Homo-oligomer: A and B are copies of this chain.
Amino acid sequence: MTHEKYRGCIEACVACAQECERCGDACIGQPQMAECVRTCRDCAELCWTCSGFMSRGSTLAAEVCRACAEACDRCAAECAEHEAEHCKRCAEACRRCAEECRKVAA
């Protein structure tokens, strides 16, 4: 089953999207967190999109996962530079999601 094949990656994307939405919102308005707001938004959007492509078994799922993995890498790198608890959680979720997306993209 297509859906089954992607289960781990869908779960990682959904978890990552939620952390990114939360972290990105928390960082708004803080000058030193500007890039974090941007990477979180991009990452969240691709994670939600990616979840949809995998859920319906799209033949483009691998392609979208590739872009999503890239977004996750950038967001993880950005969040890892900050001390806030939401940044740490977000970085961790991004790393897991990047890993899962790379498996699908391979």
Interface string of A54-89 (1 = CB under 8 A from B): 011111100110110011001000000000000000
A: interface residue count bin = 35 or more
Q: Answer whether residue A37 sits at the interface, using C-beta atoms and an 8 A cutoff.
A: yes
Task: Kindly report how many copies of this chain are found in the complex they form together.
Answer: 4
Question: Is A97 positioned at the interface, with any CB of B under 8 Å from its CB?
Answer: no
Residues of B within 8 A of A63 (CB): 67, 70-71
What CA separation (Å) do A45 and B52 show in the bound complex?
Answer: 8
Closest chain B residue to A37 by CB distance?
Answer: B28
Residue in contact with A28 in the complex, picked from B10, B21, B28, B66, CB distance below 8 Å? B28
- Which B residues touch A33, using CB under 8 A? 29
Contact with B along A19-60 (1 / 0, CB 8 A): 001101100111111100110011011101101110111111
